[in-house]
A and B are shown apart, each in its own frame.
Chain A
Amino acid sequence: MENEKITDDGAQAEIGKNTAGADSVNNDIINLPDNTLSQKPEARKPLFIVFRYLFIIICSILVTLSLILFILYAVPVLKEFSPRRKTEITNNQELKKDLLYKKQISVLTKDVQRLSLKFNAYTSGQSYIVINTIENRFSLYTNKKLIREGFCSSGSYTMLQTAGNKKWIFKTPKGKYWIHGKTTNPVWKRPDWSFVEEGSPIPPKDDFSRYEYGVLGDYALALGDGYMIHGTIYKRFLGMPVTHGCVRLNDEDLKVIFNTLNIGSKVYIF
């Protein structure tokens, strides 16, 4: 029994020690045939090899991972610590008394003032409207002051495609525009895409079926290229991108905008 324990531990040294200090009774048990002692470690060898290789593989993976992380994360940080000469900023009172310094500061101040004036002149003191097509909101300004803001609807970014590969993209153009014309009780002359969208046949250019009354609200302000700021019968869609490119407003906002903006007033769309 004791011997079994020894062999289970598998330590050759311990076996030796036991053998040396054993009495005659134990000797019988210890003097087992050679193959009993050598067989068990032999059987364990493949397992040991597997563990060793597993250990090597895990270590290699960890080392590789550390290297990758070092390259990806540590090197960019090190870059920011790269040595370079730093310019010292001074606030020397002696220098401020220097004539050349005074001259330079005066020239620079004049430059800044001139540029500021030039830049401020870009913002018109007249009325203008800003349309945010991402949030579908508008802001109306007069004398550089915000006088009204609210929801609108802009282009849906839908691309209408026919089987014949004809395409229309419904988006509100971005940039600087101006009011080309103002209309009360506008009539909508339906373009081709309006019929294509419904699956209806396209009528001739000036066919009566192209004219629709009341769908654009009470007022319309033309931006050029067929785009307009107008009213809508789909008020529940205000604040959403649902139009074919025009900007839709509710009746109250439209009235204020119509009365505030003149032909030539700027429209900023982003």
Chain B
Amino acid sequence: METEITNKRPHRKITFIVLISIISVFIIYYSIMSIISPVRKLEEIKNEFGAKAAEKNEVDQKILMDSTYLKLLKEKAFLQSRIVMAETDSIYLTLNLSDSTANIEISGVVVHKAKMKSLKTSKILLAGNENAILSMLATPFTISHAFATIKKEPVMIKMAPKDTSEYKPDIMPDTSITEPVNYILEMNGGIRIYVYQEENVKFNARISHISFDLKDRLRDTWSALKSVAVLKVPEYHPFIKIRLPRTDAKIIYRAIPKNGQIAVFS
């Protein structure tokens, strides 16, 4: 009995050590690949928009770093984006990160204003001093995917009565339902806008927020793991995370079309 135990133990120990080593190596590899991903993304942005910026502005490198010049350049980029969107009759969103406002506009008319309660941005976007980033912001983003805790169109199905005896007049709609409002707007270029409702006082709102955030992390990690497994650098999604009053968050989500456009002023 004793000899059996002593024979098994080294095997187990070796298996255990090998397993731990494999997991550790993978975790380190995954972490390194993930840390590299923002650098890779910035390079991609520079390749796509940097050249254009250089062609447009044959200016001295020193001027490109000047605060006055950059301020004007940001303003120009934002106006260009808004004009492009105003040309359409569609509803669009403008995010002004410098004065923390989120506005809904239709054809250049601001139809709804919302004040952000908190704001968190990817460092890539904050490094908006980069000419390439400004050039990227000069064109509006288009929403490609959306994940939300509320429906875009809360359609209720009502079956028509067979005759007048079955007819029931409309009753007052229940406006007391306050489902938590959290959503992610993923745009072309991989940029994501996270909108969370400000009020998380109720327990179910907190749970909803945590579960929504966890689902997003799991989705992201799964996609990153798949990339890492085939020795690819996972895709990095620059983000803008904002908190808005619940009503404003709901208005914005329901107002913007499925593939609506967004302009960002960094």
Contacts and interface: CB of A to CB of B under 8 A. Distances in A.
B39 interface: yes
A88 B156 contact: no
A104 B63 contact: yes
A237 interface: yes
Interface in B17-58: 23, 27, 30-31, 34-39, 42, 57
A175 B89 contact: yes
Contact of A237 (B39, B110, B156, B172): B172
B247 A135 contact: yes
Given A199-B165, A237-B172, A75 B67 contact: no
Contacts, number: 203
Nearest to A168: B160
Interface stretch (B74-82, B141-149, B201-209): B74-82
B30 A176 contact: no
A136 to B, nearest CB: 10
Contacts of A213: none
B173 A87 contact: no
Contacts of A91: 66-68
Number of chain A interface residues as a range:
35 or more
Contact of A100 (B39, B63, B76, B156): B63
Nearest to B90: A175
Contacts of B65: 87-90
Contact of A71 (B30, B109, B167): B30
Given A80-B122, A175-B91, A241-B173, A71 B67 contact: no
Q: Which of A75, A120, A157, A242 has the most CB atoms of chain B within a 10 A radius of its CB?
A: A75
B9 interface: no
B107 interface: yes
Contacts of A169: 155
A135 B251 contact: yes
Contacts of B158: 158-161
A132 to B, nearest CB: 7
Given A95-B66, A112-B76, A199-B161, A134 B83 contact: no
Contacts of A176: 89, 106-107
A123 interface: yes
Nearest to B169: A198
A199 B164 contact: yes
B221 A87 contact: no
Nearest to B40: A82
B167 A199 contact: yes
Contacts of A112: 72, 75-76, 79
Interface residues of B, number: 78
B238 to A, nearest CB: 10
Contacts of A78: 31, 34-35
Contacts of B36: 82
A92 B76 contact: no
A171 interface: yes
A73 B257 CA distance: 32
Contacts of A121: 108
A86 interface: yes
A49 to B, nearest CB: 11
Contacts of A215: none
A32 to B, nearest CB: 24
Contacts of B91: 174-175, 270
A160 B153 contact: no
B255 A174 contact: yes
Contact of A104 (B31, B37, B59, B166): B59
B170 interface: yes
B6 interface: no
B38 to A, nearest CB: 5
A163 interface: yes
A101 B167 contact: no
B34 A75 contact: yes
A200 interface: yes
Given A104-B69, A111-B76, A119 B62 contact: no
Contact of B37 (A67, A70, A79): A79
Contacts of B39: 82-84
B191 interface: no
A72 B221 contact: yes
* A-B pairs, 5 with minimum CB distance: A122-B108, A199-B161, A115-B79, A270-B255, A176-B89
16 contacts: A67-B27, A72-B217, A72-B221, A75-B31, A80-B123, A89-B65, A89-B66, A105-B72, A109-B72, A119-B82, A134-B255, A197-B161, A198-B164, A241-B173, A268-B111, A270-B106
